[in-house]
Amino acid sequence: MITTTIGYPYIGENREWKRLVEKFWKQAISEDTLQAEWKKLRITHLKKQQKLGLTQVTSGDFTMYDRMLDLAFLFNLIPSRYRSLEDVPSLTTYYAMARGTTDTVACEMTKWFNTNYHYIVPEYEGATLKLNHNHYVDWFLEAKEAVDIDVKPTLIGPMTFSKLTKGYRDKELAHYLLELLPLYAQVLQQLVDVGAEWIQLEEPILTTALSEEDCRLAEVIYTQLVEAVPQAKVMLTTYFEALTDFERITNLPVAGIGLDLIHGKKENLAALRQHGFPPQKTLALGVVNGRDIWASNLQEVAQDVQAVQTLVSPQAIWLQPSCSLQHCPVTVANETMLFDTLKDALAFSDEKLGELVEVSGYIESSEWPTPTAVSASMKRIEALKNHASRQNESVSTALAKLEEKDFKRTVPFTERLALQQQALHLPLFPTTTIGSFPQSKEVRSWRAAWRRGDLDDAAYEAKLDAETLRWIALQEEIDLDVLVHGEFERTDMVEYFGEKLAGFAFTKFAWVVSYGSRCVKPPIIYGDVDWLAPMTVKETVFAQQHTDKWMKGMLTGPVTILNWSFVRNDLPRDVVAAQIALALRKEIHALEEAGIRIIQVDEPALREGLPLRQDNWQAYLNWAIDAFKLATSSVNTTTQIHTHMCYCEFNDFIDPITALDADVISLETSRSHGELIHSLKENPYPYGIGLGVYDIHSPRVPSADEMTTILEESLAVIPANHFWVNPDCGLKTRQEPETVASLKHMVEAAKALRKKTLQTN
């Protein structure tokens, strides 16, 4: 029985990939050095997987920034605005597409299905496509030389790639595919020519809602590919959900189909019972969870595989994680900060591969390779289940006592707005930021010294206070209307709160990639969540005392804390979200009592938690919206609640964000601003809104004129008294000079619009 991966984490146990690419961006290493070190990292990962016992490894799961961008670059989908950078596109052009340049905006970035990862959106402008250098061949040959087991190249499939490309109208899809499919065929043929037996094409789009036209398109795509390269054995693998049209997809003319038996377990098993599985195909089963960190119940996994064996007789069965392990940390082995009961119940990527090997051995021989594997697995799971952290009666009692009034503001928005304007005295088009300011090398060094014990609490806090005061002065100099304290004490917008709440644990090396080289270390929610003491009051009040302008309180919302954490798997997610909301409700009360009148509760992850199929959205939205309202609805009428979100698609989400009943929402929209303006024309938003006027994911400094144009376009769809002006996201990862310059231009643009509007009226 083959044991394999869909993909392995490319960032390394200690984020080696991140450090290399950031050195290259800073011109601290050459491209030759970068490529040589990348190769060492890839080979290390391959050899480790072989040592762990896999019988097949995967090549092509590596990336230079993002795998969708890799394919766009391979197929020469290079927007015209980058073509003047160099005659022959190289890493310079590639990274310009990812990050922008001084004069050129970056490509749009958005969430990869319902994960916390962001991908670069390919742009098709109608230019003729062609095949650039095929790194997939290089990586395959490199892997074949490095290990003596089977190597399976992988790339994102043509259905998913084309559906996620922007720039073409529906009627232009056929023309786009006529250009794209021959290039896919060339890639497959080149891989076959160098000895690839199996080639994996990842098609998560096939687990989303598919129309009849989509199903026919999948049939056309794969019929053409197989006819073009009949020697290629294609493993069409799917993940994140069950197949939408099981019978038609499993009968596509490919050699193998991969199914997610974690997130799509119930539906996929039911479909196997109803439709069977083509006996001439290989069936790859995703039987360990590639998106969480909990150890599997090995007995249950083995039973799932055996259940499939009783239903169908495929040519062969492979065992693999449910999706790429890119969404999971690398290994538990290096963790030293976790208590034993919790650590024993965890399995990161390496441990999950060990689970696959154990289950495969049992299925093949009816004996466990490690005789105590099952009993030890059950003991570890049961020990955490019975841990005192999961028996907090005060939390369960508080949840049981909730009433309908706990989820509602007492006064409607139109009345609140008038009262808040009277209380806050803000100008038209008030300017603010999303919350964080650049965390310089010095700030990070202070934190590291404090955590090592080289800097005591008083000295560390004094340094943070000085940095806060410096940025208050900078904000006043820039002339922002509503200030923030800068969040210099916070490592991460979720981790910071988890460190101060009961029920959370933290790792030392459990990094996962968020976008590009940006890595995060999600907290682990392992027990009942409870508020212990004020978390943000001290820093916010300190900042407010040093300015006459309003200072925003800054919190991360309950759904974002949930979605950006690894969440316990013994309770429904809605219950955990409600626990977090109750804790934040107490924090908001504490801020109000301390005199803070503008409080931002960020929910950038609200939309990404949506199920992949729209008919399953409402159940999620019901409890997600309730969690936000539970946290925020008890405030005074004159306390202004802000929130922040990251997404581009607005038409299908206007009702949920309206239901939040937040006074002001800021949106991450700069890379797709025109699309949002069009959406707002069709679906006006009735609350205060700030459209991000510049992209913080790029070091580029936009001009005041550029921002003025965006603001004037926005004014056509946003009432002036509802209109806020802000960047599109937090500024933590940016450098200070570009941040100050961009904010000065932003304030200049807002003032120009304010003056023009007042003169007109």
Binding residues: 15-18, 111, 116, 434-436, 487, 518-519, 564, 602, 608, 644, 646, 668, 729
Question: Judging by beta carbons within 10 Å of its beta carbon (0-12, 13-18, 19+), is residue 245 exposed, middle or buried?
Answer: middle
| Alpha helices for 276-412 (secondary structure H) | 298-311, 340-343, 349-365, 373-385, 393-400
**CA 464/CA 539 separation, integer angstroms:** 9
Q: HSE on the CB side for 624, CA within 13 Å?
A: 23
Q: Quickly list DSSP for 95-106.
A: HHHHH--SSSPP
Instruction: Give the contacts of 303 (CB within 8 A, at least 6 positions apart).
Output: none
Which residues carry a binding-site annotation for Zn(2+)? 644, 646, 668, 729
Instruction: Give the contacts of 147 (CB within 8 A, at least 6 positions apart).
Output: 46, 47, 50, 57
| CA-closest candidate to residue 290, choices 237, 246, 216 | 237
- The conformational region for residue 585 under phi > 0 = left, psi -120 to 50 = alpha, else beta, is alpha
Parallel, antiparallel, or unpaired for β 316-321 and 2-3?
parallel
**CA 356/CA 378 separation, integer angstroms:** 16
| CA-closest candidate to residue 212, choices 178, 248, 237 | 248
Tokens of 309: 């064996």
Token match 């916010």: residue?
540
Tokens of 439: 């965390």
Parallel, antiparallel, or unpaired for β 118-120 and 109-111?
antiparallel
Secondary structure letter of residue 431 according to DSSP: B
Tokens of 450: 């404090």
Q: HSE on the CB side for 416, CA within 13 Å?
A: 23
Using CA atoms, how far residue 643 sits from 398, 603, 604, in Å, is 25, 6, 8
- In our burial notation (b when 16+ CB lie closer than 10 A, e otherwise), range 53-80 reads bbbbbbbbbbbbbbbbbbbbbbbebbbe
Which residues carry a binding-site annotation for 5-methyltetrahydropteroyltri-L-glutamate? 15-18, 111, 116, 518-519, 564, 608
Spatial strand order in the sheet of 566-567? 501-505, 524-531, 566-567
Using CA atoms, how far residue 153 sits from 6, 139, 240, in Å, is 10, 8, 20
Name the active-site residue from 642, 673, 697, 745. 697
| CA-closest candidate to residue 39, choices 25, 59, 69 | 59
**CA 62/CA 41 separation, integer angstroms:** 10
Active site includes 45? no
Is 650:668 a contact under the CB 8 Å cutoff?
A: no
Polymer length in residues for the chain: 761
**DSSP 3-state of 668:** strand
Which residues carry a binding-site annotation for L-methionine? 434-436, 487, 602
Secondary structure letter of residue 251 according to DSSP: T
Is 694:668 a contact under the CB 8 Å cutoff?
A: no
**DSSP 3-state of 436:** strand
Active site residues: 697
